Structure 1
Amino acid sequence: MSISAAMVKDLREKTGAGMMDCKTALAENNGDMEAAIDWLRAKGIAKADKKSGRTAAEGLVGVAAAETKAIVVEVNSETDFVARNDAFQALVRDVAQVGLTTDGSLDAVGAATYPGSSKTVVDTIKDAVATIGENMSLRRSAMLTVGEGVVATYIHNQVVEGLGKMGVLVAIESTGDKAALNQFGRQVAMHVAATNPLALNASEIDPAVVEREKAIFSEQARASGKPEAIIEKMVEGRLRKFYEEVVLLSQAFVMNPDLTVEKALKEAEKDFGAPARITGFVRFALGEGIEREQTDFAAEVAAAAGKN
């Protein structure tokens, strides 16, 4: 029989499954709505999509590296328990590895063919939702590349090799010794994990952020009752201090606070045997920016006991 758009829409609203899945389910079951719902449930599709409203803020950050590039991905789950699951860990590791074959963008990684299957990464994660029973998602990805040099990596709170709660990439352009570049790059990556800089250099900071800081500094300075000329100098001084705190190259290097990261890089060039330049960094901390649901545990217990 002919499957109308209205039928597909109705099934989608009832199950939360994707449009193409709904169309296929109806076609497979001759337009029978209840049979189509059962078909989706049997395939795990309705089960997976119904869970998509639940907050997934746990999970793992995965890192994979090749010669002159590296990628970091974040795959979220609802609970830390699932993040400790071998199958989930293998999933995140495979997503990171296949991500190396793409341009590193979220769309490209999601659309890549999952290793050992004919399905995409996104569809494989969807299947895993039905199998494991929790909402999961590929939240973000980022890749750094260099023409010559290294992209060093660091995993903080590592669970297993290449997987943890935070992943950092640092790109260093240089023709120098790869082992020495990687060693220093890993130290800078650890520094980035600890200090969470806003940008590589001052020019990369969002102008709106700078203006907001200037406004705050100006207001604080005027409260001192000093003349405008003095206030202007005070604001300039505080802005310099702000840059030292949030700009990677200007920060005091965690490994040697007597040097900035930029000066430490310059000193390390003798170990590299060639000039070097940090061209970029990425820092993914698990779940950052996700608004987690706040639940009233007492209310949940009361509701479960039939008191609400």
Structure 2
Amino acid sequence: MENINKTALIKELRERTDAPMVDCKKALESSEWNVEKAIVWLQENGKAKAAKKAGRIAAEGLVSAAKNEKYAVIFEVNSETDFVAQNKQFIDLVNKIGNILLNNTFSNSEEALNLKDESGKSIDDLCVDATATIGEKIAFRRAEKIEIKETQKAGTYVHTNGRVASIVLVNGDSEEAAKNVSMQVAALNPEYTLVSEVPASVVNKLKEEFAKEIESDAKFASKPEKIKQSMIEGKLNKELSKNVLELQDFVMDSAFKVNTYLQSKKSELVKSLRFEVGEGIEKQETDFAAEVAAQVAEARKNN
């Protein structure tokens, strides 16, 4: 035992598992300085640590989008802090999950969680392992996958900070046009992609309001019904353009609406998706000083 180069073994285990140095030392001490046994120890101990962190709120992290010739996916992986979201290990995990999602079939986020990589580890397993090695809760939250037909193109966009991602699917052969519109989706976050998606109740209510406005205005009350209806449609489209992608001014060239821009590229809008980090998650207010004190106390208990 005296002839074992403990420092070298700790370094080797660290390189192979990316676990914290202190955990590598503990693992080797508990495994008679056998690296293979220590890896198993880290895996088992990591699951226990991850279980303790399961109740924490992870509302930071990254969203991403990826595509190939047949499919496009958009997904979110959460961490507890924005600092960890910039960690290379976390970024590598996100990229790996993207490849798993792109190359496997799933119909919802729950199914996606059980998809496996080439080594047989599920996305859930990978997040548990990352929780153990990174030191805070890592969680796969959601994913959506769309099929790209032969007559379609998809454009994906991920903002440089990794907090917003989007996909736009179009009928046609202009991938560039789809990409340009996906940037608009990321920036403006329209509530609907197409006018046909707006609930009829919302459209009818707006029409009623605009009809009353026109009838109450002496300048328009005596106008022919055909003109009144044209005015109502104009007001309706203007109002819908605030929240409907296809009617919005195209941000890269305001001479176009999104739908007319796509028409100029011989394309037609089909679908859009947008994910933003942490949307819909109720973030926990944290007393930073108390959290640090708790972490110090836990570290002392484990030493």
Provide TM-score, normalisation by structure 2.
0.69
- Check conservation: 1:144, 1:281, Cα contact below 8 A: no
Structure-2 change in CA distance of 1:256 and 1:82 (3 Å): same
Show the counterpart of 1:171.
169
What residue number does 1:119 align with?
Answer: 121
Contact 2:71 2:147 in 1 (8 A): yes
Secondary structure class of the residue paired with 1:246: coil
Matching of residue 105 in structure 1 with residue 108 in structure 2? yes
Which residues of structure 2 form unaligned runs of 5+? 1-40, 222-227, 296-303
Q: 1:201 to 1:90 in 2, by over 3 A?
A: same
- Asked if 1:157 corresponds to 2:157, the answer is no
The structure with the larger Rg is 2
Unaligned runs of 5+ in 1: 1-38, 159-163, 270-275
Q: Provide the rounded CA distance (Å) in 2 between the counterparts of 1:257 and 1:102.
A: 39
Judged with a 3 Å threshold, the aligned counterparts in structure 2 of structure 1 residues 207 and 291 are, in CA distance, closer, same or farther, namely farther
Q: Does 1:188 align with 2:181?
A: yes
Matched, 1:257 2:268: no
Paired residues of 2:169 and 2:269 also in contact (CA < 8 A): yes
SS in 1 for 2:255: strand
The alignment's TM-score, normalised by the length of structure 1, stands at 0.68
Closer/same/farther in 2, CA of residues 50 and 298 from structure 1, 3 Å limit = closer
The count of aligned residue pairs is 244
Q: Distance in 2 between matches of 1:78 and 1:108?
A: 23
Residue 59 of structure 1, CA deviation: 0.7
From 253, 263, 266, give the equivalent of 1:266: 263
In structure 1, the residue matched to 2:70 is 68
Deviation, 1:125, is 0.8
Structure 2 counterpart SS, 1:102: coil
Deviation for aligned residue 1:72: 1.0
Q: Alpha carbons of 1:154 and 1:206: their partners in 2 closer, same or farther (altered >3 Å)?
A: same
Percentage of identical aligned residues: 39
- The aligned counterpart of 1:278 is 269
Whichever residue aligns with residue 77 of structure 1, its letter is S
**TM superposition shift of 1:209:** 5.9
Instruction: Classify the secondary structure of the residue corresponding to 2:274.
Output: strand
**Counterpart-to-counterpart distance in 2, 1:237 and 1:248:** 17
Sort the Cα spacing of 1:40 and 1:68 in 2 relative to 1 into closer, same or farther, 3 A: closer
Contact 1:144/1:151, CA 8 A, preserved across alignment: no
Work out whether 1:202 is the aligned partner of 2:200.
no
Q: Describe the shift of the 1:303–1:66 C-alpha distance in structure 2 as closer, same or farther (beyond 3 A).
A: closer
